[in-house]
Structure 1
């Protein structure tokens, strides 16, 4: 007899009710239908395919992009008492034979596999002899050429449509704009009527963005909010990744680098430490993070401009998967904007692709420069809507604007008078009337724009120039020495002189608004903090004994619930959300003992 989804939810996962559209999606797939699921990270996408895979006859086949992600998910499922395994290139000899025996005998509930492995003819032939309950393609945005994580192997997954025509197909992602969604549906032959769009909002994440002033000092102030918490710091280059990690270690943090140029074994070792230890900061390029299943990442900081709003949303979405308060900080400057533009223009992509990438960059700069609610701008990009959130920096302290029409005219005129070949710092010197050797040798202390900008200080002029670059009134020559020139839009501005409102640059300060968020554990009364930390220590001890990440035993959120409820018996512990039957049997006595030691 097929188990009922709600019964599985309670006995395996320890939850009494589905959230949001989960129940509708599960029922839809249980009936044998295909489904496209777009749900924010932390919204419970995994349950949407795991529960039907367990409940329906046969084995669930889950396509996943990374070996590390598969290992995490398999470990978590086994902790919950589910028969799950991963088929990947790391399996050798006896292990591989044992896995195929389990598959052939019907012993597995779920099998995770990378697309490159799955598409091998011998693997497809073996799977055609196996009864499949469903096929779920996780991180499905990797299939789209418009997606920020496009992977050619994902594009070939449309072969599954003909290879397994009678098996329900699911495509799941947290990040897909309209073009990406359309491409996924088309390639996997999933009807629009089978699409479930659950929205994009991550209300627990506080968003903040700031102009680069002193990036390391800004990052250090930000990290004071996150003592003894895990997080990710993204950098654009491999060198900056390593230098930033080393600097953070000097500042007393446990920080590890991660980028594609590292030795594979070292990269894997660093990722394992990040997943299994508390309070580790991963400093990484975008090579790190897709599908990271660690629920207690409390912050994500970008020290350079990300590639697009989709990339920013995906990368910041790695924070707060457990729903507890978390932070996202992005620092950016005019060099970032120019470099991203250069990446686009120098790529071998067709013009249609370049045009799309320019639009994506413009949308990201609009998010960075907005004076309104950041969450509203972010969600509107994906076709979602929000009231002002009260949980972003612009809601906490709305930026002021000023009429920047005259300042823009002065800046563009100065760039023109100096020959459209000098960088930002030089243009600011001329506007302020600073006659240093370079300026006087060039004769620019004698031009009409010398000293015409003394009403603003150097910091304000840098902010004005950055905004004009973002507005594409100024181009930056990144192939040379960063020389500024007037774009066609800038020349049109000089001719037409429309009113242009610019942001007043914020004064240097801590990048986190006061009182906006608290550390996750401060959701507990003071009296329970000691118990919460003791529960975490017990979890870490048990995880080390099994060589698994602590969060596959219990999430922080479950430990917080334990500390608040203080269950004194097995039956009371069973009522705590996140405590399923297998974990109750395996860990109930150990955690009840910790609670009893702290007064029950």
Structure 2
């Protein structure tokens, strides 16, 4: 077969520099497009190989590939990883002093760089624009392109200025890349970056190695501890919390229970945040407990779990965050604990948010989709992929597939809740929160109930057939289905337009059966039913551990994350094949020319020890 004229040098670069024999998915077509001078908009899941789509064209085309990235804290690691491959890479950002910037600028002008990483705000500085004018730019890569979406989960105002790249350098190809975008967001990216004529490449959003699990909150810190101690002991992972306080509290709780956990949030000083991030990247088995300020662009391939202790605001944010697990393709867990208070809090935040009604409606739509994912009785993966416009079959590897939930006719309980809210509002001109409504249904003569004479309501005590947790589950699902909403600072319950259909007996309400306890029925299979992984034979496991120890020592000596030396997947293949010559070692995926020359003999010596 005759390869396109752009493919042969690209494939040679893939083999020689990166140590892989073949492209995956759309990589080859994307690379051919950019090498040939065309623009591209690329949607590819985390771990799908997005970086190669601009790194290889930058190496093949004349000039320097300029990568626009918001990840200042990670640029050094990205550059270190490329240099380990023999790629001449550098960066310019606010962490450097004058002399460091001058050195990188001189390398750029002398043609001594293959890739130059810039933060987007630097492209608003005239001196940076003049610098790029004086050199030869091979391409512009706009990484994390969803940051341009104005109402998105990672909006960066500086990204709005990047449309000017095409105006100033009309003949330089551009490639915008992201792991998360609906069709509407993709259109917004194309419009805002002046990429309406670009070719669009949309890969499957499916990450079959990730098992999605959502549990009802029941002492969530204890539920999290059980997950980590029974399924992810010694694994690296990320735990997301909504507030700084819960981040600190959870990190302390885990540390007190024998799991080394570091907090990460905007309230910490910059040095502490940088130290915690660096330790997470460089040390094995650490857990980071963070707000959503953490994680975008994290290249650590062996994150075995991502847990959420609070409800994400959107499916896009949830997918982006869970996608940080299992970048190496090995089985990983995405775990979320979700409860009534999450829904009340999110609805309240939307009701009191800044912006116009259209903005609040947009936020509400995002939350509705997230709630639908939480409450679905069908395959989580099907629901998730459908949100991004991708059809799928049940995966057999999420909690709803492994332990199918039941649903029940909750019309009558729904009517009781709605009727209570109606009577409080219309008859008494009063509004109350969830707890008070449940007390009335259960017939509890609490001080507040007696104070307002709510024992006289016709609905007082009509709900004794359900327990308090079951009633709170009913209210949560009514909020999720838009049959109730909340308003005000105290999260009081109010009816919606759709409530009348239920009260008028014109609509049936199906509810998900509340589990008695969030057990491990789904989790016990989390490592066995994900993407197929070649298990190491028993005799190879000691070799793998020796290679990991060698890698850890080498990484520490060089001051870089372990994955910069080699990924686990590469070490596993080396351990399984146990090559005895440099030529044979050079055929292993991930062992390119530079790494073979640098580490080859050390690996053979380690295997022979």
Q: TM-score, normalised by structure 1?
A: 0.96
Partner of 2:75: 70
Q: Larger deviation: 250-259 or 211-220?
A: 211-220
How far residue 249 of structure 1 moved from its aligned partner, in angstroms, is 0.5
The question of whether the paired residues in 1 share the 8 Å contact of 2:347 and 2:485 is answered with no
How far residue 69 of structure 1 moved from its aligned partner, in angstroms, is 2.4
Match of 1:506 among 515, 519, 523: 515
Post-superposition CA distance 1:535-590 (Å, at most 9, x none) = 11111110000110001111111111112111122112111111111111111122
Q: How does 1:160-239 map to 2 (within 5 A)?
A: 160-191=165-196, 194-224=199-229, 225-239=231-245
State yes or no: 1:518 paired with 2:527: yes
CA distance in structure 2 between the aligned counterparts of 1:196 and 1:414, rounded to whole angstroms: 52
CA distance in structure 1 between the aligned counterparts of 2:383 and 2:518, rounded to whole angstroms: 24
Match of 1:527 among 536, 539, 544: 539
Match of 2:392 among 372, 386, 394: 386
The question of whether the paired residues in 1 share the 8 Å contact of 2:402 and 2:521 is answered with no
The count of corresponding residues between Structure 1 and Structure 2 is: 596
How far residue 134 of structure 1 moved from its aligned partner, in angstroms, is 0.6
State yes or no: 1:252 paired with 2:258: yes
User: What is the root-mean-square deviation of aligned Cα atoms in Å?
Assistant: 1.9
The question of whether the paired residues in 2 share the 8 Å contact of 1:218 and 1:511 is answered with no
Partner of 2:337: 331
The question of whether the paired residues in 2 share the 8 Å contact of 1:207 and 1:392 is answered with yes
How far residue 501 of structure 1 moved from its aligned partner, in angstroms, is 0.8
Partner of 1:60: 65
The question of whether the paired residues in 2 share the 8 Å contact of 1:10 and 1:16 is answered with yes
Partner of 1:468: 478
CA distance in structure 2 between the aligned counterparts of 1:4 and 1:22, rounded to whole angstroms: 14
The question of whether the paired residues in 1 share the 8 Å contact of 2:241 and 2:308 is answered with yes
C-alpha change, 1:559 and 1:50, in structure 2 (3 Å) is: same
C-alpha change, 1:315 and 1:512, in structure 2 (3 Å) is: farther
CA distance in structure 2 between the aligned counterparts of 1:320 and 1:200, rounded to whole angstroms: 14
The question of whether the paired residues in 2 share the 8 Å contact of 1:558 and 1:577 is answered with yes
SS at match of 1:61: strand
Q: How does 1:557-572 map to 2 (within 5 A)?
A: 557-572=569-584
Post-superposition CA distance 1:239-295 (Å, at most 9, x none) = 111111111100111101111111111111111111111111110001111111111
Q: Larger deviation: 431-440 or 402-411?
A: 431-440
CA distance in structure 2 between the aligned counterparts of 1:542 and 1:512, rounded to whole angstroms: 40
CA distance in structure 1 between the aligned counterparts of 2:431 and 2:542, rounded to whole angstroms: 61
The question of whether the paired residues in 1 share the 8 Å contact of 2:302 and 2:325 is answered with yes
Q: Larger deviation: 434-443 or 465-474?
A: 434-443
The question of whether the paired residues in 2 share the 8 Å contact of 1:236 and 1:304 is answered with yes
How far residue 454 of structure 1 moved from its aligned partner, in angstroms, is 1.9
Partner of 2:457: 447
The question of whether the paired residues in 2 share the 8 Å contact of 1:208 and 1:512 is answered with no
CA distance in structure 1 between the aligned counterparts of 2:409 and 2:217, rounded to whole angstroms: 23
Post-superposition CA distance 1:293-339 (Å, at most 9, x none) = 11111111010011100000101111111111111011122222222
CA distance in structure 1 between the aligned counterparts of 2:424 and 2:199, rounded to whole angstroms: 59
SS at match of 2:131: helix
Q: TM-score, normalised by structure 2?
A: 0.94
Post-superposition CA distance 1:365-417 (Å, at most 9, x none) = 11111100111111111111111011111111111000000010111122334
C-alpha change, 1:103 and 1:542, in structure 2 (3 Å) is: same
Partner of 2:499: 490
How far residue 437 of structure 1 moved from its aligned partner, in angstroms, is 4.2
Partner of 2:366: 360
C-alpha change, 1:44 and 1:522, in structure 2 (3 Å) is: closer
SS at match of 2:41: strand
State yes or no: 1:294 paired with 2:303: no
Post-superposition CA distance 1:62-110 (Å, at most 9, x none) = 0010112222211110111100011111121322221111111101000
Post-superposition CA distance 1:191-243 (Å, at most 9, x none) = 45611111211111100112211111111121121111111000000111111
How far residue 183 of structure 1 moved from its aligned partner, in angstroms, is 1.6
Partner of 1:395: 401
C-alpha change, 1:512 and 1:27, in structure 2 (3 Å) is: farther
**Structure 1, unpaired ranges of 5+:** none
State yes or no: 1:243 paired with 2:253: no
C-alpha change, 1:512 and 1:536, in structure 2 (3 Å) is: farther
CA distance in structure 2 between the aligned counterparts of 1:522 and 1:298, rounded to whole angstroms: 17
